[in-house]
Amino acid sequence: MEITFGLLDDLLWYVVSGGAGVLAYAILAKLDKHGVQFWTRLDSEYRTYVAYALSGFLGILGYLVQVVMLIQPQPADWRGWVCALVAVAFMAAGVSKITYAKAKKS
């Protein structure tokens, strides 16, 4: 099987955005495990917002690193940037929520 740069770009995009969601879950689980005060005092609704924000931030950061390293093509205009960053943030937040649900189930 020949891996083209287009396929590699797509795989990296999924790994960065999805991986950011898993990383955000792991970070927040460590905070919960170690009883960090600001985290344990938060209501569950606010914890969800923090989890979404952290996973979105990590996903966007990973995407921007890929653009700077010329792995991902730079979007052509501001609309392209908005679409790309929103897509990465939503993918990361969704994967974070799925990871949390699977961990709670087991």
Distances (CA, A) of 43 to 14, 18, 58: 31, 25, 22
pLDDT in tens, 42-100: 888 888 889 889 999 998 998 898 889 888 889 999 999 999 999 989 988 888 888 87
pTM: 0.80
pLDDT higher than 70, residue 26:
yes
Angle CA(66)–CA(102)–CA(96) in degrees, nearest 5? 30
Distance CA 24, CA 28 (A): 6
